[in-house]
Structure formats: C-alpha cells, structure tokens
Homo-oligomer: A and B are copies of this chain.
Amino acid sequence: RPVRSPARGRSLPWNAGYAEIINAEKSEFNEDQAACGKLCIQRYEFGAGEDQEWLTLCPEEFLTGYYWALFDGHGGPAAAILAANTLHSCLRRQLEAVVEGLVATQPPMHLSGRCVCSSDPQFVEEKGIRAEDLVIGALENAFQECDEVIGRELEASGQVGGCTALVAVSLQGKLYVANAGDSRAILVRRDEVRLLSFEFTPETERQRIQQLAFVYPELLAGEFTRLEFPRRLKGDDLGQKVLFRDHHMSGWSYKCVEKSDLKYPLIHGQGRQARLLGTLAVSRGLGDHQLRVLDTNIPLKPFLLSVPQVTVLDVHQLELQEEDVVVMATDGLWDVLSNEQVARLVRSFLPANRDDPHRFSELAKMLIHSTQGKEDGPTGEGQVSYDDVSVFVIPLHGQGQGSS
C-alpha cells in the first residue's frame, strides 16, 4: 500500500507535514479524511435595524487562525467527507458570532457592548471567563452544528455513516485541540511528551453510557444489560455471585446473577475490542444518525456525544525549541505505536534532517511507514496496522506569533 502525501509544491499551514495510508482492504475507500487551512474570521457588527442585517465593518480587523483536522469514518466515508468539507465553516461561523468577545481584554457580559448593570465586568471577572473560553465554546458548538448538518445531508442523500473528529486550531497565540473519538494529538518536545487529547470510547465513557441506560432503560429495548461483567455471562453463572459494576461505581463489587444479566452487555469487550451495543468502538463523533444495532431497531445515536473535549496549549508560554511539534493521528497509528515510540521517532528524525525543507512531511510519511512493519525507524519492531492511518506533524517553533 502506498503512503500518500500532498505534492511538494502545496505547502500546508505552518509548513505542517501530512501523510496517509489506506486500509488493507478493510473497506473500499479511505475512511480517514483530513482538512487544513487558514481560518479567516471576519468582524461583523449588528446593523441598526430589527432585521439585524450583517455589515462588514472593519475588514482589516480580521482575526486569522489556522486549522488542521482528522476525521476517521466508519460505516463508509460519507460522514468523514462531509465533516472535512463542513466543520471549518461551522467553526468560522461560531467564532464570528463571538468575535467581539474574542478581541476584548475580557469577554463582555453583553455582546452588544451595552452595559445593563454597572458591575457586569466584575461578574465576568469573578466567573473567570476569558477569551479562550469563547473559543472552547465555539468549538463545542461547531461540532454540534456540524453533526446536525451531517445528519440532514446523509438523510437527504440516503447515505449512512459516522466519523470521529480531531481538530487543532491556532488562534491568538494559543493552540486549541478539540477531540471527539479515538484519534489522538500529542506534543513532542525534547524533554517532554504531553497528551493534548483524550480518547472517547465505550470503555473511557462507561459511566456516562451506563447512566443514560439507567435513566432511559427503554434505549436497551430489553435486548441488552446495562451492567458490566468481566465476561459475558452464561446459564451456568445463574445464582452465582460474580464481579460487576454499575453506572455509579468506579470500583467493583459482586452480585447474584439473575436471568436478565445474561443479556448481551451494553458495553462489551476489552480495549481495542470494546463495543457499544455490540456495534461501535467509539462513543463520541459526528454522524451515525441512522445507525442501528444489526437486525434490530435499536439506535446508537442516543449514546453518542458530538461535543468534543477541548484542551488549550498556551504556545507563547512554552519557550519553544526548534523541534517542538504536535503529532495528530487517527487510531491506526496509536494502535501500533506508543506515545513514547512516536516521540523517539520524532526526536531522531528531525535533528538528522534539519536542512530538509520538507522534513515535517517526510516525518509524517516515516511515522506511517513505521506502522507497516518496515524497518524504517529506530523502533523497527515490525508492528503492523491494517487500518487507515492519517498523520499531521505540526511544527510550533516560530509560529506561535503567526496569528494576529
């Protein structure tokens, strides 16, 4: 399988590197999709009339950001393609709706600038609300908006599918990483590896998912048990006391097995094999509005969240070194390479290729080659990923100042 990368003439924001490989015939298409670009956020102001007509006021006061995104599709590439074509527009719209708060020293209580109560700035101050909270809110809302768009578009075109979404946005000297699904972004520096995202899977979100089934038992349609057991129970377990846990427990206890405990578990399997309702390996993402448990009418969507978790990296405070990068990749990479292995590959590759203007792109390709059991990297441990793999390598040095 070839490792693909953008043509050398097409440079990505911040000279980021990108590469991808298509799965080993697991599906017909590349279910991963990627997008990146400049985010031009215009500053509008409400018109005077009641129709709130938009007027471009000061075109020179644009806010510029950069955007990189990975979408890992399932059930076909449709949702991932829609997300790659849509999410940045949703985000731009959400940011433009709050841009006056973004450029203020402190977000104002009223977006209009009108001060209804003289101590409004004090209330905002006491809540600790900063401009970055508006970006986080905009990302959260953009993911939800994009999910709704995907739902409508897929329904209208008779298509199906869902995807995870991992987005990095640089704005006003900060890097925001928003994640819904099981892709991952890490910061690799000479002396540090820092997680910038956390995976959302049926395992990591067990308590939220069990809680929902507790509140709405009808979502299980009598076909599944909400409880977690170390393995699926069988008839011989009836009447025995076995290990279990329910939604309110982070520890384990024992319960006497009843007949209803023999149903298929809401969350079943271990690690990579864990599935929600026997169907899905992720618990957050976009799309999947039509997804049903095989041969039933039980929808998955109520258990899925489209809202991402957002982490913020204050790039200005990092004292960046020349080879500090963010590595973003879909689960195909992380299934076979640990964070530390990726960090080792980064730290050996970049200093050795300091003069190559395409080194971040080459590094992205090299990381993918390292998932193919080749002896490219110093790990050379022959791990193989048969999944789609997509990787961004985003250099941070000299870029933090790049947005104004």
Q: Interface with B: A10-18, A148-156, A237-245, A360-368, which one?
A: A237-245
A121–chain B nearest beta-carbon distance, Å: 10
Closest residue of chain B to A237, judged by CB?
B116
Among A248, A254, A310, max chain B CB count under 10 A is at A254
Residue A2 CB within 8 A of the other chain: no
Copies in the complex: 2
Given contacts A110-B240, A110-B242, A270-B127, contact A133 B234 (CB under 8 A): no
Q: How far is the CA of A126 from the CA of B271 in the complex (A)?
A: 9
Residue A317 CB within 8 A of the other chain: no
Query: What are 22 inter-chain pairs, A to B, with CB distance below 8 A?
Result: A97-B254, A98-B254, A101-B243, A107-B243, A108-B243, A109-B243, A110-B240, A116-B237, A117-B231, A123-B230, A124-B230, A124-B243, A129-B243, A134-B253, A136-B249, A137-B249, A137-B253, A138-B253, A139-B251, A140-B248, A144-B248, A250-B309
Residue A114 CB within 8 A of the other chain: yes
Q: How far is the CA of A305 from the CA of B211 in the complex (A)?
A: 13
Residue A252 CB within 8 A of the other chain: yes
A251's partner among B117, B123, B138, B271 (CB-CB below 8 A) is B138
A111→B230 contact, CB < 8 A: no
Count of chain A residues near B, Cβ 8 A: 55
Partner-B contacts on A (CB < 8 A): 94, 97-98, 101, 107-112, 114, 116-117, 119-120, 123-124, 126-127, 129, 132-141, 144, 215, 230-231, 234, 236-237, 240-243, 245, 248-254, 270-271, 305, 307, 309-310
A230's partner among B101, B109, B243 (CB-CB below 8 A) is B109
B230→A129 contact, CB < 8 A: yes
A171–chain B nearest beta-carbon distance, Å: 13
Chain B residues contacting A134 (CB-CB under 8 Å) are: 251-253
Specify the main secondary structure of chain A where it touches its partner. Answer: mixed
B241→A126 contact, CB < 8 A: no
B234→A137 contact, CB < 8 A: no
A231's partner among B109, B139, B215, B251 (CB-CB below 8 A) is B109
A310→B98 contact, CB < 8 A: no
A114's partner among B139, B141, B240, B248 (CB-CB below 8 A) is B240
Q: Which 8 A-B pairs have the closest CB atoms?
A: A136-B251, A137-B251, A111-B241, A137-B253, A123-B230, A123-B231, A133-B252, A116-B236
Among A117, A120, A252, A254, max chain B CB count under 10 A is at A252
Chain B residues contacting A309 (CB-CB under 8 Å) are: 250
Closest residue of chain B to A144, judged by CB?
B248
A133's partner among B109, B251, B305 (CB-CB below 8 A) is B251
Q: How far is the CA of A119 from the CA of B234 in the complex (A)?
A: 14
A116's partner among B133, B240, B248, B271 (CB-CB below 8 A) is B240
Chain B residues contacting A252 (CB-CB under 8 Å) are: 107, 129, 133-134, 136-137
A331–chain B nearest beta-carbon distance, Å: 19
Q: How far is the CA of A133 from the CA of B243 in the complex (A)?
A: 11
B310→A251 contact, CB < 8 A: yes
A54–chain B nearest beta-carbon distance, Å: 14
Chain B residues contacting A236 (CB-CB under 8 Å) are: 116-117
A140→B98 contact, CB < 8 A: no
Chain B residues contacting A129 (CB-CB under 8 Å) are: 230, 243, 252
B136→A240 contact, CB < 8 A: no
Q: How far is the CA of A161 from the CA of B251 in the complex (A)?
A: 28
Closest residue of chain B to A231, judged by CB?
B123
Given contacts A117-B234, A243-B129, contact A140 B251 (CB under 8 A): yes
B250→A140 contact, CB < 8 A: yes
Chain B residues contacting A138 (CB-CB under 8 Å) are: 251, 253
